[in-house]
Amino acid sequence: MPLPVRVRWNPQPHRTTAPCPAFTLLEVLVAMTLLSITLLTMYQVFSSNMLLVRSNRSTWKAMVYVNNELMRWERRTDTNVSFAQGSFEPNDPMAGYEWKREIKDQEPIPGVRVRRVELILNWQDGIARREYRSHIYVQAR
């Protein structure tokens, strides 16, 4: 007849003496610091990128407008010497921009007279004042 087996009651049968894996307070603080620095850097890059996008958008808008206007002046037949300036109406797509147009005679080669049509756009971009200028030469009539 087999002997009865003595079983001891153990409320924590799988407990080991090694500490359970966990992060220390110092490790958590270092991780939070690195995360904060990374997020701050990403925010600064994003905000400066948005400023560049807005600035480039207004510059491209000015370039397209000036080049389109100069192409119109290239096809005109009444390019008299003149100077004009103004600003755009509030409901105009170019509202906030100011323009100057100067048409003057030039003689790049003796005996050859042409008219220089110069168009300048100015606008306020944040705290900076921006300007875009371009010109073409047309035949003096």
Going residue by residue through the chain (141 aa), what tens digit of pLDDT does each one get?
Answer: 666 767 666 666 666 566 667 888 899 999 999 999 999 999 999 988 888 887 788 889 999 999 999 999 888 888 889 999 999 999 998 999 999 999 999 888 888 889 999 999 999 987 889 999 999 998 877
Domains of the chain plus CATH, in order, are 25-139 (3.30.1300)
Question: Between vectors from CA 48 to CA 63 and to CA 55, what angle results, nearest 5°?
Answer: 15
pLDDT confidence of residue 108: 82
pLDDT confidence of residue 51: 80
Sheet of 128-139, strands arranged across: 82-87, 97-109, 112-125, 128-139
From the CB of residue 97, how many other CB atoms can be counted at a distance below 10 Å? 20
What stretch of H or E contains 32?
A: helix 25-75
Cα distance between residue 124 and residue 67, in whole Å: 20
Q: Is 120 exposed, middle or buried (0-12, 13-18, 19+ CB in 10 A)?
A: middle
